[in-house]
Amino acid sequence: MSNWGEKVENIIETIGLCKNYQLGDTTVEILKDINLKIKRSSFYSIMGPSGSGKSTLLYLLGGLDKPTEGSIKINGKELSKMKDEEESRMRRNDIGFVFQFYNLIPNLDVEENIMLPILLDGKKLKDYKESLDEILEIVGLTERRKHTPRELSGGQQQRVAIARALINKPEIIFADEPIGNLDSKTGIEIMKLLQEINVKQGKTIVQVTHSREAAEYGTDLIMVRDGHICESK
Amino acid sequence: MEIIIKFIVRSIKENKFRTFLIIFAVALSGALYFASTSLSDSLVEIYTNKMRQATGNADIMIFPKRGSPAGVISEAPALRLKDKTHYIIKAISGTGRYKIANKNYERISLTGMTLNDYKKINDLELAEELGGASFESNSIIISKMTAEKYHLNIGDQMEIYIGDVRRNIKVYGIALPTGMFLDESQESKALISYRSLCDYMQTKGKPTTIYIKAADGVSVDSLIGELQKGYPKYGVEEPFSKEQIYDNTSMLSMPLLLMTLIVTFMSIFIIYSSFKVITLEKLPIIGTFRSIGASRKMMDKVLLMESLFYGVAGGLAACAIGIGILYIMTQYTTPDSIKEYIEIKINISFIKLAITFILSVIVCLISSMAPIIKVSKIPLKEIVLGNIVSKKKRKIRKDVLGILCIIAAFILPIISSRSLSAVLSGLSVILTLVGIINILPIIIKSTSKISEKLFYKVFGNIGILAVKNIKGNKSILNSIALITIGVVTLLMINNISINVSVEVINFYKKTCISDMEVWMNNMDKSSVRGLLRHEGVESVYPLYGTYGIEVKELGEKLGCIESIQDESYTKYIQFDYMGKQKELLSEINNDRYLIMTVIMKNRYDLKEGDKLTLKFPSGDRVYTILGFVNTFMWNGSFALAPDTYLKNDTEAKYYNSAYVKVKGDPKMVLESLKKQYSDRYLGGMTIEEMLNANKESNDQLMSMLIGFSVLALIIGSIGVINNLIISFIERKQSLAVLRSIGMSKKQVIQMLFIESLYSGSIGGLVGIGGGIIVMKIVPYILEAMQVPVPTYLVPGVLWIYLVGGMAITVLASISPAKRSSKLNIIEAIKYE
For B160-216, how does the pLDDT look when each residue is reduced to its tens digit (9 = 90+)? 988 778 888 999 999 987 788 877 766 789 999 999 999 988 888 899 999 999 999
Q: Give the list of residues 6+ apart from residue B410 with CB closer than 8 angstroms, or none.
A: B428, B773, B776, B777
**Pairing relation of β-strands A26-39 and A10-23?**
antiparallel
Q: Give percent of chain B above pLDDT 70.
A: 93
CATH topology of domain A42-66+92-232: Rossmann fold (3.40.50)
Q: Give the list of residues 6+ apart from residue B142 with CB closer than 8 angstroms, or none.
A: B152, B158, B171, B173, B174, B175, B188, B189, B190
- Compute the distance between CA of residue A95 and CA of residue A74 in angstroms, rounded to an integer: 10
Q: Which residue of B has its CA nearest to A103?
A: B737
Flag the least confident range among B81-85, B308-312, B383-387. Answer: B383-387
pLDDT score for A60: 92
What mean pLDDT comes out for the span A21-44? Answer: 89
Beta carbons of B432 and B770 less than 8 angstroms apart: yes
Residues in chain A: 233
pLDDT score for B431: 92
Q: Give percent of chain B above pLDDT 90.
A: 33
pLDDT score for B536: 92
Domain residue ranges of chain A, discontinuous segments joined by +: 42-66+92-232
Beta carbons of B504 and B694 less than 8 angstroms apart: yes
What mean pLDDT comes out for the span B83-99? Answer: 90
pLDDT score for B374: 86
Closest alpha carbon to B683 in B539, B523, B541, B563 = B523
Our CA-based measurement puts residue B762 at a distance from the nearest CA of chain A, in whole angstroms, of 19
Beta carbons of B191 and B118 less than 8 angstroms apart: yes
What mean pLDDT comes out for the span B39-49? Answer: 71
Domain residue ranges of chain B, discontinuous segments joined by +: 1-53+242-389, 57-238, 511-688
pLDDT score for B185: 64
pLDDT score for B226: 92
pLDDT score for A8: 42
Closest alpha carbon to A175 in A117, A132, A215 = A215
Orientation angle between helical segments B418-459 and B745-784, nearest 10 degrees: 160
Beta carbons of B59 and B753 less than 8 angstroms apart: no
Indicate whether B240 pLDDT > 80: no
Region of B578 (left: φ > 0; alpha: ψ -120 to 50; beta: rest) is: left
pLDDT score for A233: 64
CB-CB under 8 Å, A91 with B740 = yes
What mean pLDDT comes out for the span B359-374? Answer: 90
pLDDT band at B271 (very low <50, low <70, confident <90, very high): confident
pLDDT score for B1: 64
Orientation angle between helical segments B16-55 and B687-740, nearest 10 degrees: 170
pLDDT band at B62 (very low <50, low <70, confident <90, very high): very high
pLDDT band at A222 (very low <50, low <70, confident <90, very high): very high
CB-CB under 8 Å, B472 with A65 = no
CB-CB under 8 Å, B744 with A84 = yes
Flag the least confident range among A118-127, B131-140, B792-801. Answer: B131-140
Beta carbons of A98 and A175 less than 8 angstroms apart: yes
pLDDT band at B241 (very low <50, low <70, confident <90, very high): low
CB-CB under 8 Å, B741 with A116 = yes
Indicate whether B391 pLDDT > 60: no
pLDDT tens-digit series, residues B324-339: 988 887 777 666 655 6
**Pairing relation of β-strands A43-47 and A204-208?**
parallel
CA angle A46, A48, A52 (to 5 degrees): 110
pLDDT tens-digit series, residues B490-536: 888 888 888 888 888 888 888 888 999 998 878 899 999 999 999 99
Per CB-CB distance under 8 Å, the chain B contacts of A93 are 742
Our CA-based measurement puts residue A44 at a distance from the nearest CA of chain B, in whole angstroms, of 20
Indicate whether B395 pLDDT > 60: no
Indicate whether B48 pLDDT > 80: no
Indicate whether B392 pLDDT > 60: no
pLDDT score for B336: 66
pLDDT score for A3: 35
What mean pLDDT comes out for the span B719-726? Answer: 82
Indicate whether B103 pLDDT > 70: no
Computed over every residue of chain B, the mean pLDDT equals 85
pLDDT band at A2 (very low <50, low <70, confident <90, very high): very low
pLDDT score for B312: 94
pLDDT score for B405: 93
What mean pLDDT comes out for the span B780-793? Answer: 80
Q: Which residue of B has its CA nearest to A114?
A: B741
Our CA-based measurement puts residue B751 at a distance from the nearest CA of chain A, in whole angstroms, of 10
pLDDT score for B660: 95
Name the residue facing B742 among A55, A103, A117 (closest C-beta): A117
Indicate whether A4 pLDDT > 50: no
Flag the least confident range among B65-69, B91-95, B113-117, B635-639. Answer: B65-69
Orientation angle between helical segments A84-93 and A110-120, nearest 10 degrees: 140
pLDDT score for B593: 94
For residue B87, list its beta bridge partners.
Answer: B213
- Compute the distance between CA of residue B358 and CA of residue B762 in angstroms, rounded to an integer: 36
CB-CB under 8 Å, B461 with A123 = yes
Q: What is the ipTM of this complex?
A: 0.86
**Pairing relation of β-strands B85-101 and B104-112?**
antiparallel
Tell me how many residue pairs between chain A and chain B have CB atoms under 8 A apart: 87
Chain B residues whose C-beta is within 8 A of a chain A C-beta are 389, 460-462, 464-465, 468-469, 471-473, 733-734, 736-747, 825-826, 829-830
Per CB-CB distance under 8 Å, the chain B contacts of A102 are none
Chain A residues whose C-beta is within 8 A of a chain B C-beta are 55, 59, 62, 64-65, 84-85, 87-93, 95-97, 99, 103-108, 112, 116-123, 125, 150, 164-165, 168
What mean pLDDT comes out for the span B221-242? Answer: 86
pLDDT band at A7 (very low <50, low <70, confident <90, very high): very low
pLDDT tens-digit series, residues B659-691: 999 998 999 999 889 888 877 778 889 999 888
pLDDT score for B347: 72
CB-CB under 8 Å, A107 with B471 = yes
Q: Which residue of B has its CA nearest to A91?
A: B742
What are the C-alpha distances in Å from B192 to residues A114, A173, B127, B168?
Answer: 96, 104, 17, 12
